[in-house]
Amino acid sequence: MNSLLVIATGNQHKVDEMSKMLEPAFTCIAMQQLGDCPSPKETGATFEANATLKVEQLAAWLNQAPPLKLPLDRFDRVDLLADDSGLEVDALDGAPGVHSARFAASDPHSGNASDAANNAKLLDLLKPIPEEQRSARFRCVLALLPYRPSTEARVALFAGVCEGQIADEYHGSDGFGYDPLFFPQGFDRSFGELGIAVKNQISHRALALRHLTTHLKEPR
């Protein structure tokens, strides 16, 4: 079956990660590859709410029948997918949480901050916190919506969590976001050092995608 997943994100790193995990069964593209799609609004208080908002906004845009760079009728199956994920640090009462990508932004509604700025703020806030109290986790929620123009379709949610610890300095340069600071449980190297092959086996997104893949293989 020729299957397409349209991902409601402007973060190419996420698209690349998902593509590596899901190929060759599914072709993954960012929503901008379809056309002039507006950036989704992330106004929810939880990962579940934000993922649902993003996939529903993408569906609403497609249902307006905009001109598309890639005709969807080329595919046997088309699904819309949104990811909302982030880092929860226990010593910071779960922050940065849903604000992970814009943690260091002066205004949480002004857009994402750079990885360097977010990491610097996290390290600064954790300076007084001893190593044994730096427990944290990456959490991912995926929202899937079948593409069925002008019909009712339900959003399905899939979650994954990776427990770990925050280091007091950068380790490695692979990955993105908080990867160089996060040591997954049971490993003595950070996500920035482990490499993409290992990360794609144990990460929060990998676990959520496994649940998603099982669902996608089921007959509709």
Which residues are catalytically annotated? 84
Contact, 160 vs 143, CB < 8 A? no
- C-alpha dist (Å) from residue 166 to 90, 126, 206: 10, 9, 20
Contact, 27 vs 3, CB < 8 A? yes
Contacts of 196 by beta carbon, 8 Å cutoff, 6+ apart: 17, 20, 174, 175
Q: Provide the sign of the torsion angle of the four alpha carbons 199, 201, 202, 205, taken in this order.
A: positive
> What value does the CA radius of gyration of the chain take, rounded to a whole number of Å?
18
Beta-strand ranges (E) seen in 90-150 are: 135-146
Indicate the burial class of 50 (C-beta count within 10 angstroms; 0-12, 13-18, 19 or more). Answer: buried
